[in-house]
Amino acid sequence: MALADIFTRNEGSASTRATVARRYGEVPTIQGEGMVALQAWVDEIAALTQPERIHWVDGSRAENDALLREMVDEGKLIKLNPEWRPGSYLARSHPSDVARTEARTFIASEREEDAGPTNNWIAPDEIRATITPLFEGSMRGRTMYVVPFSMGPVGGPLSHIGVQVTDSAYAVTSIGIMTRVGTEVLREIAGGAHWVKTVHSVGAPLAPGETDVPWPCNDEKYIVHFPDTLEVWSYGSGYGGNAILAKKCFALRIASVIGRNEGWLAEHMLLIRVIDPAGRAYHLAAAFPSACGKTNLAMLRPTIPGWRVETLGDDIAWLRPGEDGRLWAINPEAGFFGVAPGTGASTNVTAVETLWGNTIFTNVALRPDGDVWWEGLTDEPPAELIDWEGKPWTPASGRPAAHPNSRFTVSAAQCPQIADDWEAPQGVPLDAILFGGRRATNMPLVVEATDWTHGVFMGSNVSSERTAAAEGTVGELRRDPFAMLPFCGYNMADYFGHWLKIGQKLRFDRAPRVFQVNWFRKGSDGRFLWPGFGENSRVIDWIIRRIEGEVPAIDSPIGRLPRTEDLDLEGIEVSQDDLAELFAVDREPWLREADLTEEFYRTFDGRIPAPLWAELAALRYRLQRG
């Protein structure tokens, strides 16, 4: 009798059904009190979801290869030509399942005010009553994989552990790239390490004899975070952050709550080491919203002779105050889950070189020779392709060949400029934190905060202008404080306050300096004033010279600006007029922006910390004083 049949018939007690579920899996022999609790939880989820079998993932190469072969045989993956892209595969999702589903992402805190106005709040009891029937029997006919994973090196002082149960082999192989998976993690759990519970189902049970589809999913989707119990439940989607729960769900939304409780920060930040011509190393973290140059900076190739950048992380950083008064950071991930379109030799050659093989591509186009292509990979598209939906495509088709949110999943270790010590458990001490948005107007190329509180004020106001702003007006801003708007697991006003508290734990002379950058300011004629990409190293050069006290700065109403003669502009052409516009601080537009900041702050019903209101008042005073 199949396990699903036993559950369907509902024979025996819950404990009996759980025991049967356990027998259908290869339960690890690792002993310890923590393993008893883990196995009991797995049995509980199996009793609810009713899988055909249970597989405990060991993270081995043989296991991963077997899963990939199985997905190829089932038509869920296309094996790419090993001559061009060895060990690589293409997945095509259902057209309805192509991105994070923010509208179906919820924070289920006990109190609505703890979620705040920027999150979708729902009462825990209400959402459990909604999703529990959906998960009941959701894995019938499928394998339930138990994936123990570590964010950060296993056992590291800044690392945390989770376990994901999922019925998606695609999710399993992706988690294997993005995290550290395997029996080492189970030993940590057996020894008493705390772990976060994450549950995922594509919501597509199979009837006996029913043939599976290439991309199973469900029209009904929920991604629910329980910050009070540190759980994530995701239903209906097989895509990206909806299914790889270690990523945004755990590493940001749940980790931000853990960080608040334990006194550290989980941030949507890249992490790099910059090495100057004298061999001095500096560590920078940077928070940019989507489409603001984050990945390009993470893999920057400086155009200034003698400078080098080593990549430590491209998306998430965990920051913890050290006993030495500095702020230490790790990249908790083990891979890159990047947007493919726009990634090419002219924009990010390092990323292209990272994708030489061992990569899972999703929703990109397939070339006739068995390789992949997406818009921006080359200047000229191939003459013919199979697009992301499996349809013939030519340049005359009038539609994108790759989905705009198509992705690559690849090990960070393959990055040609990854730092040798990128997995150091203790992390690296930060020298600077950068905030940035896509601003056509108002925001200078670079401005330095006067102190930590001013830096938090800057971070709380990160924003990008909507299309209307391209016409030269400070119109509607898309707010994305700290680039964390979709990812903060609790009230953002309290999150701002937590940043202020972290600053109090740092020595004033060892805390990272805070800067705001903007590569996207435009002139009155609509063209970009700054060349960007590798030339952004010239801004980094000035930032480092500020850290070292080698150059002065100009005080302005919004912060400290460079003297243009202190920017290394040798080898590029930026006119004096363009430089003047790049650093212009216009009183009236900035006063209007201050009004927008006040409007934004007031949405938090009085929870914005007083020091940030004081910063806003001081900004207005300086602007009005002229």
Q: SS3 of 49, please?
A: helix
Q: What is the rounded CA–CA span in Å between residue 36 and residue 529?
A: 61
Report which of 63, 74, 17 is spatially closest to residue 43, judged by C-alpha positions. 17
Angle at the Cα of 525 from the Cα atoms of 521 and 530, rounded to 5 degrees = 30
Q: How many CB atoms lie within 10 A of CB 542?
A: 21
Q: Quick check: helix, strand or coil at residue 419?
A: coil
Distance (Å, whole) CA 560 – CA 506 = 22
Q: Phi and psi dihedrals of 342, rounded to 5?
A: 90, -10
Name the catalytic one among 217, 249, 292, 488: 292
Q: What are phi and psi of 332, to 5 degrees?
A: -75, -10
Q: Under a CB-based contact definition with an 8 Å cutoff, are residues 230 and 160 in contact?
A: no
- How far apart, in whole angstroms, are the C-alpha atoms of residue 366 and residue 388? 8
Active site residue 292: yes
DSSP state of 566: G
Which residue reads 């259902």 in tokens? 94
End-to-end Cα separation, the chain, in angstroms: 81
Cα-Cα-Cα-Cα dihedral of 264, 150, 34, 245, to 10°? 90
The structure tokens listed for 124 are 């825990």
3-state secondary structure 233-276: EEECCCCHHHHCCHHHHHHHHHHHHHHHHHCCEEECCEEEEEEC
Q: Residues 4, 50: contact at Cβ < 8 Å?
A: yes
The backbone torsions φ and ψ at residue 496, rounded to the nearest 5 degrees and listed phi first, read -60, -45
Annotated catalytic sites, by residue? Answer: 292
